[in-house]
Amino acid sequence: MAIFDLTTSNYVSARQGHSSTRLMLPSLGVVVGGGFCIVDQTPFKAREQQSQLQLCAREVYAATRAQQEFSARLQLCLLSAQAQQLWAKEAEFRAFLQSAQGILSSGGGGGGGGGTPGAAHLSLSLEDFQLLPERERGRIQAAWQKWRAADAKRAEVEKQRRKEEAEASRKRQEAQRCRREEARKALLAILAARPRDIALLQASVEDAELAGLTELDGEVAQAILSLRRLQEAQSLLEQAVAVSQFHDLQEAISRATVAGLKSEWLEKAQDEIVRIQGVLSAEEAEKRRKAEVERMRQLEEEAKRKLAEERERKRKEEEDRARKGQVQIIAADLDKLKNEVKTSQYTDKVFPPPKMGAKVSSYKIMRASEVCKTGVKLMVDGSDANDIKQGELGDCWFLSAVACIAGRKDLLKQLFSYTDEDKGLYVVRFYKNGKFQDVVVDDFFPTKYDRM
């Protein structure tokens, strides 16, 4: 007789030599002398329920394991937090012992009565503190409470100081914003007025730059362009009056009128024309006046057209530069600067010596050429970070930046884009808000005993 457990594919033979039997159903077969019978002892529903129970058991096991892992991690976090609190308290206690060493040394009793020598307090831990005699522990605890109160007071003072600094910074920014707004309104008022005074417009532009406005602001750019046209018109008037030619005088007056110039040179040119031309008849004068009005209108329209073209050209250049990812450069007008220093040394009108502050009154303001009798040189025998020395100005941020690039000649050349030591003219290129901007400075320095 042979028994087949077809559910587990196990074969148990009680007698050798019997023929094998193949069954497709999960059942128990009994073979006797070549015949067989089938008994189904494991119903299908029972197997399905058993599979579901096994699946649920695995899910319960996984959930239990996840819960145990979470509990272990939570316990680890709590232990870590407790350890950090303990370390912080230990560090605070150590700091207290360090700062209160003198007090503990003078007040602690050495010897047998239960005091601990003051020097030994430095090695105390919180556990050792609990083992001290009650009197000694009370004295240290009282000193610790005072120290913590003083530390809390210092922290409160520091917090109040930071708050006051933040408020002061906010007020400074607000004041700077108000200054910029007032400077912008003043520029708009002057640009809207006709005729325009060169000195007044130039002073307004300087005030706007001091307030923080740059040539990127539309009002400042328009004012600078108008100022240049007024200066060109006045220069043309001066030349025409000096030459005293009728055509040149007429052209210069037209240019000055279109630019809106208010100057005594305009009156001189008009008087010179009257002197040359003589007394005109009323009819001829009216005809000339109408022709002049028409010509001035055409010139004004032409000037407006050129201004619009110039603005459009600058706008396209800015768009192309931004599209190509190039850094914008606000360069100084070197031609204008070179013309200014042809007959004299350069002086910064935006930041003259009187604006160096109240402390500068205790020093003597001198040019670098007056201090260095042998001649001024921007760099001698190369440059090194050790060459940078800070004075009393408090500009460590700038000096540290210069020290970082002291060994890079290419970067130094970019920093000082133009220098003329004999004229005291230096053009320094700064990088701010994603743009390079040239700043022109002179060589005035506060000195003491003829030394910088």
Task: Give the Cα separation of 61 and 39 in Å (integer).
Answer: 36
Q: Which helix (H) or strand (E) holds 148?
A: helix 134-192
Residue 333's region, left for phi above 0, alpha for psi from -120 to 50, else beta, is beta
**Backbone φ and ψ of 140, nearest 5°:** -65, -40
pLDDT of residue 322: 67
Q: Is the link from the previous residue into 195 a cis peptide, with omega within 30 of 0?
A: yes
pLDDT band of 258, cuts 50, 70, 90: confident
Collapsing DSSP to helix, strand or coil, 38 comes out as strand
Distance of CA 166 to the CA centre of its chain: 17
Task: Give the Cα separation of 372 and 394 in Å (integer).
Answer: 24
More confident residue, 30 or 227: 227
Global confidence as pTM: 0.32
pLDDT exceeds cutoff 80 at 54? yes
Distance of CA 446 to the CA centre of its chain: 30
Q: Which helix (H) or strand (E) holds 383?
A: none
pLDDT of residue 43: 58
pLDDT of residue 101: 63
Instruction: Report the mean per-residue pLDDT for the chain.
Output: 75
How many Cα atoms within 13 Å fall on the side-chain side of residue 413?
4
pLDDT exceeds cutoff 60 at 32? no
pLDDT exceeds cutoff 70 at 10? no
Task: Give the Cα separation of 232 and 219 in Å (integer).
Answer: 20
Q: Which helix (H) or strand (E) holds 432?
A: strand 425-432
Q: Stretch 358-370: mean pLDDT, rounded?
A: 75
How many other C-beta atoms lie within 10 A of the C-beta of residue 162? 10
pLDDT of residue 44: 60
pLDDT of residue 68: 92
Q: Stretch 358-363: mean pLDDT, rounded?
A: 65
Active site residues: 396
Q: At a CB cut-off of 8 Å and minimum separation 6, what does 347 contact?
A: 424, 442, 444
Q: Is 442 exposed, middle or buried (0-12, 13-18, 19+ CB in 10 A)?
A: buried
pLDDT of residue 5: 45
pLDDT exceeds cutoff 70 at 276? yes
Task: Name the least confident of 18-22, 157-161, 363-367.
Answer: 18-22
Distance of CA 156 to the CA centre of its chain: 29
pLDDT of residue 123: 63
